[in-house]
Amino acid sequence: QVQLVESGGGLAQAGDSLRLSCVASGRPFSLYSMAWFRQAPAKEREFVAVINRSGSRTDYTDSVKGRFTISRVNAENTVYLQINSLKPEDTAVYYCAADRSGQTSRTDTAYEIWGQGTQVTVSS
């Protein structure tokens, strides 16, 4: 099955931009819808964004709309999360996740495959 490895996190200042990447290995990447979730310290994991198999449809949580962009390049087995205008409240571990059903769910239990996460820390 697919294995996921995230990268691109780090320490940033408010207003900066980061691009997170999630590279998949294993079964055809294009069979999976892909999502990003995040978990801040002492908080529940929350949905951030999702993209369907072809990349034609996306969905975002309200707090990131207009600042975050999810995209994918199936030929490169990669999904990206472009994060602009970073805020301290964006500080979290960011996880990518894959759903073989192809649905664009906001619920973490819909995703059967998860990466190890990449830390994003934003200072004010």
**What CA–CA distances, in Å, run from 108 to 76, 98, 111?**
24, 10, 6
Residue 72 CA to residue 70 CA, distance in Å, equals 7
**What CA–CA distances, in Å, run from 97 to 13, 53, 84?**
26, 13, 21
pLDDT at 27 over 90: no
- 10 Å CB burial of residue 123 (0-12, 13-18, 19+) is exposed
Mean pLDDT over 29-35 rounds to: 95
Amino acid letter, residue 73: V
* pLDDT more than 90, % of the chain: 96
Mean pLDDT over 78-94 rounds to: 97
* pLDDT more than 70, % of the chain: 100
